[in-house]
Chain A
Amino acid sequence: MLFFSYFKDLVGQEVTVELKNDLAIRGTLHSVDQYLNIKLENTKVVDQDKYPHMLSVRNCFIRGSVVRYVQLPKDGVDVDLLHDAARREARGG
């Protein structure tokens, strides 16, 4: 629940999603759901020469189960706030 809320606040930011098959996709976070499935807009695969598989794709849906990392802009996160929220969630949740 915590990360779902967190990602909702990040909608509109540019992120890079690294998948479990090593593919990395950069795009604007359009939406997220309870499974942490991610929809990105204006996508560009990070190493396009190595991965031309998605050259004609501009918007995509990424299944939550296949995400390894979501790379964020450094100032996209209020680390202290997140830290507090995580502590509370771990204690109570």
Chain B
Amino acid sequence: MATATGLESLVDQMISVITNDGRNIVGVLKGFDQATNIILDESHERVFSTKEGVQQHVLGLYIIRGDNIGVIGELDEELDASLDLSKLRAHPLKPVVH
């Protein structure tokens, strides 16, 4: 049945989280619950700007509250490795407005 949209299949995988305030945080999913609270290991934030390449800020082990989560993407590590982050220019994502 198409009813189990769990995050189980993403556990121990590298994921990219887009938070409601427009941040992009990458890390390894270690756990989650029904409220979509998640535990992210080895996490770092990718800051996009129009003036310089993507900056990465190391964060470590994080718990992100489900309230604040928009998208959880499964990172294709091969694809990600082929990206030249220093060349990417973009406006930061907008915050979520309900």
In the complex, chain B residues whose CB is within 8 Å of the CB of A19: 70-71, 96
With A58-B74, A59-B74, A66-B96 as given contacts, are A51 and B90 in contact (CB-CB < 8 Å)? yes
Q: Is B22 an interface residue (CB 8 A)?
A: yes
Report the number of A-B residue pairs with Cβ-Cβ less than 8 Å.
106
Number of residues from A at the complex interface, CB < 8 A: 33
A53 to B10, CA, bound (A): 19
Contact with B along A20-40 (1 / 0, CB 8 A): 111101000011111001110
Residues of B within 8 A of A (CB): 1-5, 7, 10, 16, 18, 20, 22, 24, 36, 46, 48, 66, 69-77, 79-80, 83, 88, 90-91, 93-98
